[in-house]
Amino acid sequence: MVMEFNEAMKAANWNPMESITERIEESEDPEERKRLEKVRCIYRSDLPPVEMAKGLMELRG
């Protein structure tokens, strides 16, 4: 499933870091910016995909 997701991202030419950075810059809500910064940190980490997914799920609550 992770490989399918990665392939879909490549096919769509989607860069999550660019998308997150744009959302941080556009957001006027400090709490939303803080949450997005945490998401960006998770994406920048060298975590295995499963651990990355766990970190993102924890942020969702």
On whether the pTM is more than 0.85, the answer is no
User: In the predicted model, is pLDDT for residue 59 greater than 70?
Assistant: yes
Q: In whole numbers, what is the pLDDT of the chain averaged over residues?
A: 81
What's the pLDDT score for residue 31? 93
Q: Which one-letter amino acid corresponds to residue 14?
A: W
Q: What is the CA radius of gyration of the chain?
A: 12
d(CA 9, CA 15): 8
What's the pLDDT score for residue 26? 92
DSSP 8-state symbol, 41: H
Tokens 């030419």 locate to 13
pLDDT in tens, 8-35: 666 666 667 778 888 899 999 999 999 8
